[in-house]
Structure 1
Amino acid sequence: MTPSRPSGLRPTPGRAAWVFGLPLVAGLGWTLFSRLRVPHDLTPPPALDAERRTLNGRAGPVNVYVAGSGAPLLLIHSVNAAASAYEVRPLFEQYRTSRRVYALDLPGFGFSDRSDRDYTPRLMTDAVHDVLDEIALESGESVDALAVSLGGEFLARAAAERPDRFRSVALVTTTGFGRNEQFYGGLGSTRGRPGIKRAYENPLWAQPFYDLLASAPSLRFFLAQTFGSYAAVDEGLLRYDYPTSHVPGARHAPFAFIGGLLFGADIDRVYEALTVPVWLAYGTRDRFTDFGDLSNVERRPNWSLTPFDTGALVYFEEPARFTAAYDAFLAGAGAG
C-alpha cells in the first residue's frame, strides 16, 4: 500500500499556480510602480561647478565642463547605469587650479544627447575627438588625458587614431585585462550583440527594468561593488547618481553597455598600438574588473603600471597618493 503524503505537501494545482504566479505578480506590480511612482523627467544639477559647453560634432550634442588655465587636461568618466562627469569630480577640482581642465559627458550620459540611437565604441571615441577639436581650437596644445574604466577603451582608441594630439594617456581601472581575456578581433568589432539591446528595449519592460537597475538600493549596491565595500562608497556620487539616471532617455546607453555593445573585441590591438606614454592605475578591490593578465602591456617601454589597494575610483579613496603618482608620471612623460 502506497503511503499517503501529508496533505500540506501535496502539489495541488492551486498551490502550483500561486507559486509560479508570484514572479508575474511581482513583475506587474513593479511595472505599475515604475509607471506611476518612479520619476523619469528629473533635472539634475550640473555635476561640476564650471562652464558648460555643448559641442555639436561627430557624436552629436555632447556636454563638456571647462575650468582653469594652463596646459589642457581631459577627463572621461566610466560607463554604467548612472554614469556622469561627477565620477571625475575630485580630479577636476584638484587640477583646475593649475590646468585647463575639460570633463566630458559621454554620449547617452549627463547633459549629452540621450536619444535612442546606436551606442558604439565609434560613437564614444568620436565624442573624445570632438573635445580634442575644441581644445585644438582653443589652445592648439597637445593633451594629457585620463579616463576611467570602460571610458579608457574610448580614450585609448582616440589616442591610437590621433597620437599627435596627446602628450600622455592615463587609464584608471580600465577594462580589457582580465585573466584569460584576449581581444584581438576585427578592428571596430565589439563583444556584444545588437539583438540583446533590442530585447532590453522592448516597450513592455524596458522602462521598468531600467528603473530597477537605477533604483536607490541598486545604485548603492553597484557602487559598493565598484568601491569594494559599502563603507567606501562616496555619498556625494551616490546622491548624484539618482537624478542623472532619471531623465528622459537615460536607459538607452546603459542598455548598450549591459548588452556588451560598448566593449571592444579588438581592444588588445588598440592598447598595443599606443605610442604615447601610458599610465595604467588600477584598484585591486573593484569587484567588476579583473587585472589577471597584463602581459601584453607590462613590458612595453611607454607603459607604466601602478596598483592601488582601493576600489575602481582610486582618487576618491586615496586622492593624495593618486595625484602624487599621476604627477610623477606626467613629469616623467614630459607632460607635467
Structure 2
Amino acid sequence: MTSSSPERRHSVNQPTLPQALPHALSGERFEFDSIAGKISCYVDGSGPPLMLVHTVNAAASAAEVRPLNDYYRQRRTVFSIDLPGYGFSDRSDRAYTPRLMTDALHALVKQIHQRCGIQPIDALAASLSCEFLARAAMESPAAFARLALVSPTGFNGKSPRRKAVGETLYLPRLHQFLTGPGWGGSIFRGLTHPRVIHYFLRRTWGSDHIDEALWAYNVISTRQPGAEYAPLCFLSAAMFSADIHHVYEALKLPVWMSHGVRGDFTDYRGKTIVDSKPNWSFTVFQTGALPYFEVPAAFNAALDVFLAQPRNP
C-alpha cells in the first residue's frame, strides 16, 4: 500500500433510516457511469456552462453550493456534482483519493460538452475540492476557461507541499484505526451526530448563524448506506495532495481565490506562492469559509466580475 492509496477496509454499515435522501438542488438530477463510478449531478438553467464543486468533509454534498446554483441558474447552465462518496454518487467501500475525485471532474467535463457543446468551462470549487479542480485544469487546460477557488486548502503556510506527482498526505495507521472492524461505523456515527454536525458547521462559519437547511440535509445524507467510506478516507488525509503547490503554480488560466476571516479556515499565509502571478486575483470577505452563504450579493457581484474577464489574463 502506498501513501497515495488507502487500503480498502470494511466497517459497520450505516443503518438505512426511513427518510430517503431528497434532492439537494433544483433542476434535473442525472447520473452517468465513469472511471470514478456512478456520478450524480444536478443541472439547471440555460446559457454558458458553469461547474460547481462542493467541499469534502464528513457530511458533504451538492447542497453546499445551493446559493450559487440558485443565483447562476438564471443566466448559466449550472452543473453541480455530487463527488464520489457523497450525495447520490457511488458510496462504495474503496479508496477515495485525489485521483478518483479529479477523474470524476474530467468525466463531468465530458458530460457538459455533450449537453452544451465543446467549449472551455468556468468552474468553482470550495475547500479541499479546489485541489481536485486545480489538478483537473492542469491536466486538461483546454477544458476550462476560469477557476474560482473558495477557501482553498494548501495555503496555510506550513510545510511546502512539493512532493512527487500523485503523492498524498495519507496516514495509513490512522485510516486503519478509523476503519477498524466493529468500531469504524460507530466512529463515523459519533462524528455525524446531529449536534456534532451542527458544531462543525459553526466552526466553518465562525459563527452560530449557520445555514440550518444545510445542516438538516447533512444529517439525512450521513444516514445513507455507505456514507462513512469517503469521510474516513478524508479524515486520514488520503484526499490531500502532497504535490498541490506544483499544481497551483502550474495553472495558466485566470484564477480567483476568495476566503473569509472567521472560523477554522483563515490561515492563508502560504498563498505567497501565487501572489505575484498575473493570472491570480484575490478577495477577502468578512465571513466564514463559505462566503456565498453569508454575503451572497457581494460574493456573486465579485464572481460576476471575474467571470466577465477575458480567458487569457
Unaligned runs of 5+ in 2: 1-11
Whichever of the two has the greater Rg, that structure is 1
Task: Determine if contact 1:109/1:250 at 8 Å carries over to the other structure.
Answer: yes
Deviations 1:55-94 (A, max 9, x none): 1112110101011111000000000110000000000010
1:286 equivalent in alignment to 2:263: yes
Note the C-alpha offset of 1:243.
Answer: 0.4
TM-score when normalising by structure 2: 0.92
CA distance in 1, matches of 2:143, 2:268: 28
CA distance in 2, matches of 1:191, 1:250: 22
Which of 131, 150, 154 matches 2:108? 131
CA distance in 2, matches of 1:285, 1:200: 29
Moved over 3 A (4+): 38-42
Partner of 1:326: 303
Percent identity of paired positions between Structure 1 and Structure 2:
46
1:84 equivalent in alignment to 2:58: no
CA distance in 1, matches of 2:299, 2:159: 27
TM-score when normalising by structure 1: 0.86
Note the C-alpha offset of 1:39.
Answer: 4.6
Partner of 1:218: 196
Q: For residue 57 of structure 1, give the secondary structure of its aligned residue in structure 2.
A: coil
CA distance in 2, matches of 1:334, 1:123: 28
Note the C-alpha offset of 1:330.
Answer: 1.1
1:178 equivalent in alignment to 2:156: yes
CA distance in 1, matches of 2:135, 2:174: 24
Note the C-alpha offset of 1:137.
Answer: 1.6
1:316 equivalent in alignment to 2:298: no
CA distance in 1, matches of 2:271, 2:102: 23
Q: CA RMSD in A?
A: 1.5
Task: Determine if contact 2:162/2:244 at 8 Å carries over to the other structure.
Answer: yes
Bigger share in helix: 1
Partner of 1:229: 207
Which of 244, 252, 257 matches 1:275? 252
Q: For residue 248 of structure 1, give the secondary structure of its aligned residue in structure 2.
A: coil
> Which letter maps to 2:158?
N
Task: Determine if contact 1:109/1:253 at 8 Å carries over to the other structure.
Answer: yes
Which of 136, 144, 147 matches 2:122? 144
> Which letter maps to 1:102?
F
Partner of 1:194: 172
Which of 199, 209, 215 matches 2:187? 209
Unaligned runs of 5+ in 1: 1-33
Q: After alignment, is 179-188 or 245-254 more displaced? A: 179-188
> Which letter maps to 1:320?
A
- Judging changes above 3 Å, is the alpha-carbon distance between structure 1 residues 65 and 246 closer, same or farther for their aligned structure 2 residues? same
CA distance in 2, matches of 1:290, 1:76: 22
Note the C-alpha offset of 1:309.
Answer: 1.0
Task: Determine if contact 1:71/1:141 at 8 Å carries over to the other structure.
Answer: no
